[in-house]
Amino acid sequence: MVRFSTTTYGREYPDSARNLRGIAMKFNTDEGNYDILCVNFPVFFVLDPTQGLDNFSDAEGMRMCGEDPDYAKNDLWQHLDNGETCEFKFQIQMTSEGEIHKVADFYPCDATKIWPEERYTYLEFGRVSFHQIPVNYPFRTHQYHPLARNGRLRCDANGSVESNIYPNSFTQPPRARLDLTCNEKPQSLQGYLARKSHSHHENEFSPDTEYVQAR
């Protein structure tokens, strides 16, 4: 399962506007669940589709912010709904823990720093292929609940993704708030536009409705 996301503002923020981009992937294996969270500055993490690039100009991007704020979501949804696939190469840059402390010109664990390609070459180890829209969308979106964590998720060294740890953990429905109706099955999805992602909002929504929609 894969989730594309922005970083700032909310779900209503236009897809074509300037923003930090992220991608979260969940792998269900025989050895357990494995999560990968990727955030990139300042452009989208998945840069080069195998069929080539087709980007907006600045003027087109500004226009689409008003005409179709959810352009990227709708484009991917319609593409997959028509039976087509979307594929990207999966590449990483690697180094050892011992080599990190030998770098003098920058701190490799700083999320705002770009690793030089001549020093850390890109290694391709697979391809990511999207071919299906989630069948049970309400159930799938609740798997990204902000209060959920499997207890073994490793955080990054500088804490830049600390606020994203909980939304990208794969576990059971939330246990931190036992009074929420999302702990009851079957779960339902209502028409609220958004919700708070922390637990200090008792006066804004009633406990019966505050988590009925996943972010």
HEC states along the chain?
Answer: CEEEEECCCCCCCCCCCCCCEEEEEEEEECCEEEEEEEEECCCCCCCCECCCCCCCCHHHHHHHHHHCCCHHHHHHHHHHHCCCCEEEEEEECCCCHHHHCCCCCCCCCCCCCCCCCCCCCCEEEEEEEECCCCCCHHHHHHCCCCCCCCCCCCCCCCCCCHHHCHHHCCCCCCCCCCCCHHHCCCCCCCCCCCCCCCCCCCCCCCCCCCCCCCC
Average pLDDT, rounded, for the chain: 68
Asked whether residue 169 carries a pLDDT value surpassing 50, the answer given is no
pLDDT value for 145: 54
Domain 2-133 has CATH 3.50.50.60: no
**pLDDT cut 90: percent of the chain above it:** 1
pLDDT digits (tens, 9 = 90+) for 41-89: 654 545 566 777 677 787 888 888 888 888 888 888 888 888 888 888 8
Asked whether residue 167 carries a pLDDT value surpassing 70, the answer given is no
pLDDT value for 141: 65
pLDDT value for 170: 42
Mean of pLDDT values over 14-35: 78
The domain limits of the chain are 2-133
Asked whether residue 188 carries a pLDDT value surpassing 60, the answer given is no
Mean of pLDDT values over 106-129: 85
pLDDT value for 190: 52
